[in-house]
Structure formats: structure tokens, C-alpha cells
Chain A
Amino acid sequence: MTLTTVDQAREPALPSKRGLSRSYARPRRTPLNWVRGGGLAAFLFLLPLLFVFGAFSWYPIVRTAIMAFQHTNLVEAPTWVGFQNFAAVWHDPLFPVAVRNTAYFAFLALIFGYPIPLVAAVLMSEVRKRRGLYSVLAFLPVVIPPVVGVLLWKTFYDASSLGVFNTILHWVGLGPYPWLQSQQWAMPSLVLYSTWANAGATIIIYLAALIGVNPELYEAASVDGAGLLRKVWHITLPQIRGVLLVTLILQIIGTAQVFLEPYLFTDGGPVHSTLTVMLLIYNYAFGNSLGGNYGMATALSLMLAGFLVVFSLVYLRATRSWSTR
């Protein structure tokens, strides 16, 4: 009989080298072990998610890829047509128009829509009182259903002299402007609405990023006599550059897929001046009451998705060093 202290008794005896390898060896993969190890429970919990994701996300993606190479009216049996749908899209005179318009929307959104939330967030972070109120006001347009927002703005954009914007501009001796009724004005009008509707979400992201900036940096800059603009330029922007890069790529991807604004405001008009790639896809699929050209619609969808994947990869590669510096 060997005497042991209490502590020694609690500690497990160290196994020999051979025993170690035996006791910590991976258990054999058997269905029973998998069930005992909680695998079945995890799978059951995962099942609804897999089903929903599969049914509503992966299945449509796979179906889209298949339909892009078919001719179908969803009633009769589809026929394989190879790359004909892609060629038809490429030769459609509205395709370059839609690409040009989408690029124009993205450009305007980048010029106006991208800096405005940043400026607003910086200003709001500087405010000492009622910051919560300003946050709520900024975020409010995001929670307004888009259809309601568009209906509201349609009345603002009334091209007569009685329209809301035209009335306000008349007070300062401007207008009336045609807004959505002009080929030149329609797209900037959509960008204006889009900025209003979406800026709130980006402002919240920037505000969260700004909290992460070390206040001591600002204090040090103040001691050195830096003003607000120099602090923003030399401290704020470099400190949140990672977030800025992410929001930029998200904005570009979002604007490349712009649909809601041109669909609800102008239906792509006047004279295709607001026809975007997504709206063209919609028109291919549903523009003709006799049944759409689903092959062309899915082909253009794949082309857009392919472009965005390539663009994102190039963008991430090009900005990798800058974002991690």
C-alpha cells in the first residue's frame, strides 16, 4: 500500500508514453461515435438552415447557371442553345446602354453618395450633445420601406412648378427643373434619392469605426496645433481605412446591381436613360407579357456576377497592402 496525499490523489496519474499515445488517439470514426459525439444533434440543428439556404439560395444559383444555356418558357421542355443567349445579350443594342447607365449611376454615387456619410459621421462624432438624436435622424430613411420612400420622393420630384423641390427652389429664384422627366436629370435624381435612402446605414458603420480611433492621437494632434481638417486627414482617415475600403467595394457592388430606384421611379425611362443592367435583366425576364426570355435574363445575370467576382478579386488584391499597412 502506498500513501498518497490528497492532491496527488486528485491528479490523474501521468500515463506512460505508450499509454499517452493510446489514450489520446483519435477514436475510430463510426456512426455510433459520431452520434455520441453530438454530430447528429449538430446536423439536426443545421438541417433547417441547409434546407433554406439550399432551396432559396443555391438551387436558384444552379438553376440560373443552367438556364443561361437553355431556351425555355417554363411551360414546355427547355432546349439547349449553348452560348446563344450570351451572344444575344452581347448584340442587344440596349446592353451597352444599360452598362453605360449603370457605370454612370455608380460614378455619381461614388462622387456624392460615398463621401456624404463619411462627412456626416465625422461631424456627428464631433458633436457632444444629442448625438443619439442625430443618429436616429440619419438612420430613419433606412427603416422607411423603399416603396414608401420612392412614392414620397416622386411627389418631391413633381416636374410642375407645384412640385415640392421646385417650390423650394423657386423661393431662391431657381427652377422649375424637370427631374425625372428629363434624360439628363433623371439619373442624378435617382442618385440623390439613393444617397438619402442608404446613407444612414453607412453612417452607423463609420460611427462605430470612429469609436475605435484612439483619442490620444487627437489630443496629441491638438497639442501640435492641428485643426479639425488636419486631424481628419492625418488621423481619422488612415485609422479607419480598412472600413473605408470595405464600404467602397460594397458600394460598388451595390450600385452595379441597382434596380429598385430605376424600376420604381422611371421604369428605365425617359428613353432608356435610367435603364440599368439589373433592370435590363428584369425586362428580359418579365418585360413581355407573352413570356419572357429567361435564357437571356439568366445569361446577363451570370455575366454581371462574373464581372463583380473578377472586379472584387482585383480590388482586394490591389488594396491589400494599403488596408493592412
Chain B
Amino acid sequence: MKSIRIAMIVAVAVLLGVVASTAAGSTRSAKKVTISVASLIPGSTPEAIKQFNAQVAEFEKKYPTITVKPVEYQWTAPTFAAKLAAGTLPTVFEVPFTDARTLGDNGQLANLTPYFKKLSYHKKYNKAVLAEGTDAKGQIIALPKGAYAQALHYNRALFKQAGLNPSKPPTTWGQIRKDARIITQKTGKPGYVEMAKNDNTAGWILTTLVYSLGGRMEKGIGTHAKATLNNKYTVQGLKMLKTMRWTDNSMGSNFDLGWSDINQAFAAGQVGMYISGSDVYTNLVQAYNVNPSIYGLTTIPLAKNKTAGVLGGGTLAAVSPKVNNTQLSAAMKWISFFYEQPLVSKKQAIRNAKTLVANKQPVGVPALPLFNHKQYNLANSWIKPYINVPLGHMKPFLNGIFKQKLIPEPEASTQSVYNALNAVVESVLTNQNTNVQQMLQQANAQAQAAIEQGS
């Protein structure tokens, strides 16, 4: 009798165990979720990849039910559009400030609002930056990854070689022109190079130049905006480029460089000065292993008038609208962990900085505040002991940038406005007899048509 009772107890225990383990297993498998996330740009160094993977491992340790699949990612207008159409973007991807709102209005980005409101730090965001990721209905459709101001990057070694003082970079466009000429004459390398590729980088940099002289590319907002590409400042900027290209001969011989190409050329010591976002040092290290000793950063010279300003932009992290709620929740956790927490949590900021330093990745690259100014200063103080970028070489920028007026990119049909300007820049740099006025009028008509169509 006793043995029967024991047998029954054992049987019940085994049965309960099996049921419990099955239930636990099914719960575990039900909660498991995999998301793909934008990682580094193709061609990044092994150290950069190692650092990224370390962050993924840390995240997966923190959220054991989430598996993160990193996907190489670089935003360019044509590749983004193709991936968007094909539905092959990762779950979490990055978009520039210029595109997020329209993509959100078109239903091409997931609504993050419910998850956003649960973030403990959601009230600390810089309102202007957060507006870039808010659609017409007031829904949050993207969260900021980083904000930049356009800046002048220069090669200190070439400055020295040309007999110029690398600690005193140019502060006017006239000086840029003069220094570029000297660098070309003394070193044989192009003194000033500009992105002039047909992938809209040409238009982006020309707009930066025009802003710095006091001009604007459009007036008004939305489809009612008026294109003003053919303003006197654009003509002035183009004439200056023409002189540098054809009279001074200080811009080199190749005029089809895009964002990556010019970074590569700069890291290889082939460029005296160029304009790009203030945070580009990260890419110079991650993809091209730039020698920190040659790197210099300063502000873009502004003309002495009330409207002159520096173009500012940035990148946002967004989620595909095709995900389910579990994936969306996991994606938001990743966005918070990877993009936002290092700026609002001391623990995460220090851990992140330590991982970056251990993998020889830059800490302390100049960027504009995503959160309020108090939070910005606080976050900077947390990582101060770990800063490994040549801050001394960036002083001209850091001392000057907060005194400059920051102007956002053209609001209406930004990429189309840049696209219309591409051909003008290309023409000025490849055809000495370009009729600037005529080309600008054509570009203006093209941009106006795009604005009216909302494309």
C-alpha cells in the first residue's frame, strides 16, 4: 500500500514538473523576440564592430528575451528609398531630420508615442529636436540619435606643411580661399574640397555655404513654400567656388565625391579643408582610422549680417511600421539603451564610454544637445575622464559653435531642393563657362515644382 502511495506521489510530482516546465517553456518561447537594428556603416574597422557587438551583448544580457541582429547600415537617399520600397530596412533604422516627418505622415514609420511616454526622461528632450521626430498628428515617430552643426574640418599636417598655423584656422571665407591656395601651392594637395556628388550632398553643402553668407533656399512651409534658390547669396557663393576652382585651382581635379568619399580622402591626407557635420570624426575613426594628430575642427565662417547662420541637422532612430507590438516594444528598448541612455543615465554613459575606449573608439566627439542644456552639461561631465578625441584640436569649434545662429535645413522638400542644386554645383566645378544665373533659375523652377507636389 505504502509503495503504491509513493508511486502515486512520484507520478504526480513528475506530472506537475512536466506541466510546469512546459508552461515555463511556452512562456519563454512566447516572449522571445528578434529585432534587426542598424549598426555601423559598411567597411567599419574590426575595433568598431567589436565595440558594437559588446553593446549588443550587454543589451541581450539586460533583456534576455530579446535577440538583436545587427545589420550594416548607411543612409543614402537612393539606397534608403529602395530598401523602404522593398521592405528590407532593419526593424530599427536611422533617418535624417529632413525626412522623418514626411515619412511619418505617409505612414512609413511606426508610432512610438505610447512607449515614448513611458520613458522616465521623456520630458528632458530639447523640444526643437523632438519636433523633428513628431508627425502632423503630434505622434512621436522617431527619437533623436544625434544632432550636428556644419563645421570646417581641416588637416593640421597640411596646414603646417604649407607654413600655416594649424591652431589658427580661417575665420572668414576670404581666409579659407587664401589658405586653400597656399596649401595647394605648397603641398600639391587640394586646399579646399567640396562634396559635389549627384546624391544630394552637393546641394547640402551649397546650402550650408549660402546659409553662412546670409541666404535661404526657401520661404514659408509645406507645399505653400516658395523656392528661393536663385538668391544673391547663392550667386555669391557659387562665384566664390568658381574662382577657387578655375582661378586659384585649389579644389583639386575630382568633383564627384560624396560623404564617404570625402571622409576617406581626408583621412588619407588628400584634403586640406572640407565642410561636413561636426560629428564626422566618429566616422573618420570607425571607417578610416584617421590619425588624430592631423585632425582639426573649427566653425564655418559667418558673414557679418543678421541672417547668416550655420546649418544644423541630425539623425533620428525610427522603427518599421510593419512590426508587431512585441517587436515594437523590443525596438524601443534598444533605442533607449543604445541611443538615449548614454545621454541621460550616468551608469550607462560611463559603461558606454568605457566600452568605446576599450575598443579604441572615439568618446567626446562634438555634438549638439538632444536634451535640455542642463542634461547636456551633466552628460558631458560624466564622460569627461574617458574623452579620447583630440579636444585641443577641436577648440576653435567648441569655443565658437554656441555663439553661432543655428538654422535648420530647408523644411519643405529638402532632398528635392538639394537635388535641384546638385547640377548647379557640378556645372560650376566642371564647366568654366557655366551660366550661374541661368542654371539657378532652372534649379529654382525644379525645386518649386517639387515643393508644390510635396515630393
Contacts and interface: CB of A to CB of B under 8 A. Distances in A.
Interface stretch (B117-125, B165-173, B277-285, B425-433): B425-433
B81 interface: yes
A291 B81 contact: yes
Contact of B256 (A267, A272, A287, A292): A267
B416 interface: yes
B80 interface: yes
A269 B81 contact: no
A269 B198 contact: yes
Contact of A271 (B85, B419, B430): B430
Contact of A289 (B252, B321, B415): B415
Of A158, A176, A270, chain B has the most CB atoms within 10 Å of the CB of A270
B430 A289 contact: no
Interface in B235-281: 252-256
Interface stretch (B44-52, B100-108, B291-299, B348-356): B100-108
A272 B255 contact: no
B57 interface: no
B81 A286 contact: yes
B254 A270 contact: no
A176 to B, nearest CB: 7
The size bracket of the interface on A is: 20 to 34
Nearest to A263: B78
A159 interface: yes
A292 B81 contact: yes
B252 A286 contact: no
A180 interface: yes
A176 B416 CA distance: 35
Interface string A265-306: 011111110000000001101111111111000000000000
Of A73, A93, A160, A286, chain B has the most CB atoms within 10 Å of the CB of A286
A124 to B, nearest CB: 37
B99 interface: yes
Nearest to B76: A289
Interface string B193-210: 000011100000000000
Contact of A270 (B85, B199, B426): B426
Given A75-B107, A160-B252, A176-B253, A181 B430 contact: yes
A184 B198 CA distance: 17
B77 A75 contact: no
Given A181-B254, A267-B197, A75 B106 contact: yes
A290 B103 contact: yes
Nearest to A176: B253
Contacts of B78: 282-283, 286-287, 289
Contacts of B416: 288
Interface in B66-112: 75, 77-82, 84-85, 95-96, 99, 102-103, 106-108
A319 B11 CA distance: 89
Given A75-B107, A183-B431, A291 B85 contact: yes
B256 A181 contact: yes
Interface in A57-93: 73-76, 93
Given A270-B255, A271-B431, A294-B85, A288 B426 contact: no
Contacts of B255: 181, 270
Contacts of A283: 78
A269 B199 CA distance: 10
Of A182, A266, A267, A288, chain B has the most CB atoms within 10 Å of the CB of A288
A288 B455 contact: yes
Given A178-B253, A183-B430, A268-B198, A289 B77 contact: yes
24 contacts: A73-B108, A75-B107, A76-B106, A76-B107, A181-B430, A182-B430, A182-B431, A183-B427, A267-B198, A267-B199, A269-B423, A270-B426, A271-B427, A271-B431, A283-B78, A285-B81, A286-B85, A287-B419, A289-B77, A289-B84, A289-B99, A289-B415, A290-B102, A291-B84
State the 3 A-B residue pairs at the shortest beta-carbon distance, nearest first: A159-B253, A289-B77, A160-B253
Interface of B: 75, 77-82, 84-85, 95-96, 99, 102-103, 106-108, 197-199, 252-256, 321, 415-416, 419, 422-423, 426-427, 429-431, 442, 455
Given A76-B106, A266-B198, 6 more contacts: A158-B253, A161-B253, A183-B430, A271-B427, A272-B423, A291-B85
Interface of A: 73-76, 93, 158-161, 176, 178, 180-183, 266-272, 282-283, 285-294
